[in-house]
Amino acid sequence: MVIIDRHTRKVICVAFCNGKKHDFALYKESGIYALKQIKIRADSGFQGIAKIHANSDTPRKKSKNNPLTEEDKKYNRNLSRERIGNENAIGFIKRFKIVAERYRNRRKSFGLRFTLIAGICNYELSTF
């Protein structure tokens, strides 16, 4: 899980775990919570975050019997436009291949390496 500042696109915080874990479960276990004034724009993996953080937006999903209305599609499109900076920052981190491919080194060193890569990305973004 990567938390990114919307304006500067810098990585603020990272959280990770061993093995596979759902995004929202990792968020709850990590203990990383935002202030109530901060607006969270999350992807669909964080469905239910509104119960924990009222000032949050997630995409609206269709169900089997209820397709998305035009208003819901417009809402999802606007949310995606706001989140594109976050996705670009995550793509920048994936250039280092630590997240994009299987990690084959010691598990204990994954957190340190990922944090160092996030620092390198922040440094690169600050030089532009």
- The 10s digit of each residue's pLDDT in 28-60 is 888 888 888 988 899 888 888 888 888 999 999
DSSP H or E run through 14: strand 11-14
- The 10s digit of each residue's pLDDT in 92-105 is 888 888 877 888 88
Reported as a pLDDT band with limits 50, 70 and 90, residue 108 is confident
Reported as a pLDDT band with limits 50, 70 and 90, residue 128 is low
Q: Where are the domains of the chain?
A: 2-112
Strand partners, 4: 11
What's residue 71's pLDDT?
96
Predicted model pTM: 0.78
Residues in contact with 43: Cβ distance below 8 Å, sequence separation at least 6, in sequence order: 23, 58, 59, 83
